Amino acid sequence: MTDSKAVRGPRDDRSEGRTSIPTFYRQVVAELRKVVWPTQEQLVTYFAVVMVFVLVMMAIVAGLDLGFGKLAFEVFTGRSSE
């Protein structure tokens, strides 16, 4: 017996074995039929939004990398102001 305070549900009392491969396949197909697939227009819109977001994030990371690189170069080159 475990020290768990969780309430046992109906699934905990089942002693069934594994699902057979054909049953699993039928269940997967049944679940995929429930999926609402996007139209081609929605897909193109989603693709464009994702690409713009990725490009903006790349620009931000590249800018930070360039800025921190120049800052590190200035700090570690040890230039004197004479």
The pLDDT tens digits of the residues spanning 38-72 come to: 999 999 999 999 999 999 999 999 999 999 999 99
Q: How many CA atoms lie within 13 A of 14 on its CB side?
A: 7
Model confidence at 14: pLDDT above 80: no
9 vs 48, more confident: 48
Q: What is the pLDDT of residue 53?
A: 98
Q: What per-residue confidence (pLDDT) applies to 30?
A: 95
| Half-sphere exposure at residue 34, Cβ-oriented, CA atoms within 13 angstroms | 6
Do 26 and 34 form a contact (C-beta atoms < 8 A)?
no
What distance in Å separates the CA atoms of residue 65 and residue 42, rounded to the nearest whole number? 34
Q: In sequence order, which ranges of 1-82 are alpha helices (DSSP H)?
A: 21-34, 40-77
Integer Cα distance of 55 and 47 in angstroms: 12
